[in-house]
Structure 1
Amino acid sequence: MSDAASQLSTTLRAPLPDAFAQLTDADLTELDRLLTDAMDRRRDTLDAALSTSLDFVPRLMRPAVKKALGL
């Protein structure tokens, strides 16, 4: 398995399907980059949504809500 395939497998946290063996290292690297960017955007969006949703919780209850959510 090439370094690019190993990195993509690590990013996916799963073994790659057999069909991925047909892709070049450049394709695998680009796919890994796109996947990483999408995961970063998703994380940022979820963080923003969570922060915004806490605005609807009364201030005195926020520490308890954060604790319940594991924040």
Structure 2
Amino acid sequence: MPDAAAPLIRTLGAPLPDEFDRLSAADLAQLDRLLRAAQTARGQRLGAAVESSLQLIPRLMRPTVKKALGL
């Protein structure tokens, strides 16, 4: 099962708990897909939140604030 767990380990960036040995390869693959989808959705929501919060900053200051934030 180590081969089936490799993508999930890369997605999480950490070793899997021992209990994950009981999951099938299909379960591990589905969990990896769901985690990647959640990460993508979180990134999109975070980007939207940053963009909407920049609307509170005067327009002429936005480029400077973006640069300071590394955006």
Which band: TM-score by shorter chain? over 0.9
- In 2, the alpha carbon distance for the partners of 1:7 and 1:21 equals 14
Q: Which amino acid aligns with 1:35?
A: L
Query: In structure 2, what is the equivalent of residue 35 of structure 1?
Result: 35
Instruction: Extract unaligned runs of 5+ from structure 2.
Output: none
What is the deviation of 1:42?
A: 0.2
What is the deviation of 1:22?
A: 0.6
Which contiguous aligned blocks of 4+ residues in structure 1 show a shift greater than 6 angstroms?
none
What is the deviation of 1:66?
A: 0.3
Query: In structure 2, what is the equivalent of residue 14 of structure 1?
Result: 14
- In 1, the alpha carbon distance for the partners of 2:17 and 2:64 equals 44
Note the aligned Cα RMSD (angstroms): 0.6
Number of equivalent positions: 70
Q: TM-score, normalised by structure 2?
A: 0.95
What is the deviation of 1:64?
A: 1.0
Q: Which amino acid aligns with 1:26?
A: A
Q: TM-score, normalised by structure 1?
A: 0.95
Q: Which amino acid aligns with 1:57?
A: I
Q: Is the counterpart of residue 5 in structure 1 residue 5 in structure 2?
A: yes
- In 1, the alpha carbon distance for the partners of 2:59 and 2:44 equals 23
